[in-house]
Amino acid sequence: MLTPELSRRGFLGAGLALIAAPAIVRAESLMRIVAPPDWRDFVRKVYAWDIEESEFALRYDIRAGGQQWHVDGRVRPVLAGNPNPELERFKEPALACLRDIMISNNISSYSMERLPLPRGFSWAKNGVR
């Protein structure tokens, strides 16, 4: 029977391999990695025609932990059938304001709740994205 000769270098290499072996594992097999939900998916956008002012009244709002925050704005109308660039110009500052509210109140996207839309609205037509 042959006995392998073990040198000092071979012994240290084998010991290092035994120590490192448990660390060479895919992280997902130890704990599932899940990306946090995008907070913009929970933003409710509602707009309505204000008869007195002859403008659109817009509201972007979020809800978390039983509290609700919102950003309101007014947008002048354009001719029917034409895109309204003011709607898009209002969107980015409104979302930035809501993001700042989330940061200042330490709101996680995990704790956000989806607000119901007013009767007659659907998420497919009125989503923020």
Domain ranges of the chain: 39-126
Res 99: pLDDT: 92
pLDDT digits (tens, 9 = 90+) for 24-58: 666 666 677 778 888 888 898 887 877 887 887 88
**Cβ(113)–Cβ(42) under 8 Å?**
yes
Strand partners, 70: 61
User: Is residue 60 classed exposed, middle or buried when 0-12, 13-18 and 19+ CB atoms within 10 A define those classes?
Assistant: buried
Q: How many Cβ atoms sit within 10 Å of the Cβ of residue 46? A: 15
Residue 61 has which token pair? 């709002």
| Low-confidence spans in the chain with pLDDT less than 70 | 1-6, 18, 20-30, 80, 119-129
Res 26: pLDDT: 67
